[in-house]
Amino acid sequence: MNERNAGKRIGAALLALAALTLCACDARGAQATPGAAAPTPAATASPTATPVLPPVPTTPPEALPTPTATPQPTASYIAQVVCTANEYVNIRAEASAGSEVLGKLPAGETAGVMSFEGNWACVAYGGITGYVSRDYVIRLSEPDIAVPSGGWALILVNKASLLPEGFSISTAGFGGGQVDARILDICKQMFADAKEDGVEFKLVDAYRSFETQSALYEQKVQSYIAKGKSREDAEIEAATITARPNTSEHQTGLALDIVTPSYTKRDHGFADTRAFKWLDANAANYGFIMRYAKGKADITGVIYEPWHWRFVGVEAAKAMKRSGQSLEEYLGAG
Ligand SMILES: [Zn+2]
């Protein structure tokens, strides 16, 4: 029984290897003759630098932007995955944790997927074909519906850029809350696509009306007054935690606070969940950015919030993801 299985697996591995040879040739051909896709010199430089040699398990900073732009011959693969392990994930000969290690897929690198088999993905990377555990990779996903766009998606709301008095939008119910009706379908699609990858999101906060935001802020102010602060001091202190009315993105209906059913806290620990990693790898394709990134508090005025995702449209989201800019910087308002 075991031997037969092993035989099958070896057969499958040989088939996969044959497929890989084809893929690798295609990749080299594409690089040698920059024809149809007209790849840029920068885009072709890094794949040629790391093809057959055993990959080094470190990620130079310059290598980070390449995964999204990697000119992999996607036609040969059913999907691509990006490694989300801290350093690397082993590429194994079989879909089993005990099988021989053939190579490594470094953190942040992408690999083409030949097939998904339970909790394993059969991948091709750097001249090696083998299996990686799906616990350490995330499928790169794109919506198959159009992502809405328009100037409305780039509205800037912060302590210095207030929403106009009487600002209002049409909302639609989603995930137990409300979102701007224009992004309802893309929200549904993003949550559904993540679920297909075994990642479940829980929406804990989305649209808040002016009245709701005012009440939340006033509640916070009162809690400081109760501790003996003056109204003036209490307002300043409260604003560091709860946005003043008309300064919260949640009033736009374009911001989602996302956690998971098993990790419900809005804290930095969310960044270690697979849900966050899925968003980090894919949300820009759906037009969302992590609005309050690490190290940007002096520009955004808000601490690092890995759970707060803001719709800005796909073009802006991808540009900000590539450049690492905050919305303020992207809009030239930083
Ligand atoms: Zn939020």
Could you tell me the distance, in angstroms and rounded to a whole number, from the CA of residue 271 to the centre of ligand 1? 15
120, 95 in Cβ contact below 8 A?
yes
User: 305, 315, 328, 329: which one is catalytic?
Assistant: 305
Domain(s) labelled CATH 2.30.30.40 in the chain stretch across 79-139
The upper half-sphere exposure of residue 14, i.e. CA atoms within 13 Å in the direction of its Cβ, equals 5
pLDDT at 76: 82
Could you tell me the distance, in angstroms and rounded to a whole number, from the CA of residue 138 to the centre of ligand 1? 24
Q: How far apart are CA 237 and CA 230, in angstroms?
A: 10
User: Would you identify the CATH topology of the domain 79-139?
Assistant: SH3 type barrels. (2.30.30)
Catalytic annotation present for 305: yes
269's tokens: 């620990």
Sequence letter at residue 326 = S
Could you tell me the distance, in angstroms and rounded to a whole number, from the CA of residue 196 to the centre of ligand 1? 25
Over residues 75-111, the pLDDT tens digits come to 589 999 999 999 999 999 999 999 999 999 999 999 9
Sequence letter at residue 281 = A
Which ranges in 123-265 belong to alpha helices (H)?
Answer: 184-196, 210-226, 231-239
Q: How far apart are CA 289 and CA 308, in angstroms?
A: 9
Could you tell me the distance, in angstroms and rounded to a whole number, from the CA of residue 144 to the centre of ligand 1? 26
Over residues 149-194, the pLDDT tens digits come to 999 999 999 999 999 999 999 999 999 999 999 999 999 999 999 9
Domain(s) labelled CATH 3.30.1380.10 in the chain stretch across 151-208+248-330
Q: Which CATH architecture has domain 151-208+248-330?
A: 2-Layer Sandwich (3.30)
